[in-house]
């Protein structure tokens, strides 16, 4: 039986990598900063951090990471994307820049910068029934929005006006906001638990 802690990768080509690594360390996970396919191959789960989605897209292609990440998603590896990470997991972007690509896997259509520029960033408390009480304090920074979700996508959270800001589909989890910038660890805990279960199911011994 596998008993070691799950190793969680944080895609470390651009974005708020340090904040995610700190959140995962607080949960007792082993953290690997992923910049190369060889590093990706060592992890049981992956975080796609906030940042600039088009830049992360270009850098992962330049570093030879795009297809390995797509393969990892297809294999069932648990992946959690925040903000830009949500965009990268989406199958469709309604307002992507020319040539922008995603890893895909989530049957959603996402709009980039749906709330405006940096000065339009905001914070709010969200009910997330899957996490129970208390509500999630959500920080939105140049955040995307889920405009359409497929039948197999579980909507985890909406704003008061009904717009979708957190979703889950199988082993994939995505939020438009940034739990990692505060004390909220429950989304990361979901990833760690899924990664531990995936490791147990896939690693012999």
Q: Which of 19, 32, 180, 184 is catalytic?
A: 180
Is 200 considered catalytic here? Answer: no
Question: What is the torsion angle, in degrees rounded to the nearest 10, for the CA atoms of residue 164, residue 166, residue 170 and residue 171?
Answer: 150
Task: Please state, in angstroms and rounded to a whole number, the distance separating the CA atoms of residues 205 and 192.
Answer: 20
Q: Which of 20, 32, 178, 188 is catalytic?
A: 178
Whether residue 165 has pLDDT greater than 90: yes
Q: What is the pLDDT of residues 129-141, one digit of tens each?
A: 999 999 999 999 9
The whole-number pLDDT of residue 115 equals 82
Q: How confident is the model at residue 56 (pLDDT cuts 50, 70, 90)?
A: very high
Q: How confident is the model at residue 202 (pLDDT cuts 50, 70, 90)?
A: confident
Domains in the chain: ranges and CATH: 7-202 (3.40.50.880)
The whole-number pLDDT of residue 117 equals 65
Question: How large is the average pLDDT for residues 83-97?
Answer: 95
Q: How confident is the model at residue 125 (pLDDT cuts 50, 70, 90)?
A: very high
Whether residue 90 has pLDDT greater than 80: yes
DSSP codes joined into one string, the chain: ---SPPEEEEE-SSSSHHHHHHHHHHTT-EEEEE-SHHHHTT-SEEEE-SS-HHHHHHHHHHTT-HHHHHHHHHHT--EEEETHHHHHHEEEETTPPTT------EEEEEETTTT-SGGG-EEEEE--GGG-SS-EEEEESS--EEEEE-TTPEEEEE-TTS-EEEEEETTEEEESS-GGGTT--HHHHHHHHHHHHHHHHHS--
Token pair listed for 10: 């944080």
Token pair listed for 119: 């000065």
Question: How large is the average pLDDT for residues 10-23?
Answer: 96
Whether residue 118 has pLDDT greater than 70: no
Q: Which of 19, 20, 32, 83 is catalytic?
A: 83
The whole-number pLDDT of residue 183 equals 84
The whole-number pLDDT of residue 3 equals 47
The whole-number pLDDT of residue 113 equals 84
Whether residue 182 has pLDDT greater than 50: yes
Output the average pLDDT for the chain.
Answer: 93
Question: Considering only CA atoms, which of 181, 180, 179, 152 is closest in space to residue 168?
Answer: 152
Is 180 considered catalytic here? Answer: yes
Is 178 considered catalytic here? Answer: yes
Which of these ranges, 109-113, 136-140, 186-190, 200-204, has the smallest mean pLDDT? 200-204
How many CA atoms within 13 Å lie on the side-chain side of 90? Answer: 32
């Amino acid at each position: 039986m596998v008993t070691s802690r799950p190793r969680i990768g944080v895609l470390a080509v651009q974005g708020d990598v340090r904040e995610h690594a700190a959140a995962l360390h607080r949960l007792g996970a082993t953290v690997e900063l992923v910049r190369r396919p060889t590093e990706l191959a060592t992890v049981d789960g992956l975080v796609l951090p906030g940042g600039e989605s088009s830049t992360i897209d270009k850098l992962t292609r330049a570093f030879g990471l795009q297809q390995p990440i797509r393969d990892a998603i297809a294999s069932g590896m648990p992946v959690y994307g925040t903000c830009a990470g949500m965009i990268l997991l989406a199958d469709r972007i309604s307002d992507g820049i020319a040539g922008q690509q995603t890893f895909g896997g989530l049957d959603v259509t996402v709009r980039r910068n749906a709330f405006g520029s940096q000065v339009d960033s905001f914070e709010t408390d969200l009910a997330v029934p899957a996490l129970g009480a208390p509500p999630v304090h959500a920080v939105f920074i140049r955040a995307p929005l889920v405009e359409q979700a497929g039948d197999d996508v579980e909507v985890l959270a909406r704003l008061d006006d009904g717009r979708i800001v957190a979703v889950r589909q199988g082993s994939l989890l995505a939020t438009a906001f940034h739990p990692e910038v505060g004390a909220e660890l429950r989304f990361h805990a979901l990833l760690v638990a899924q990664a531990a279960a995936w490791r147990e199911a896939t690693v012999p011994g």
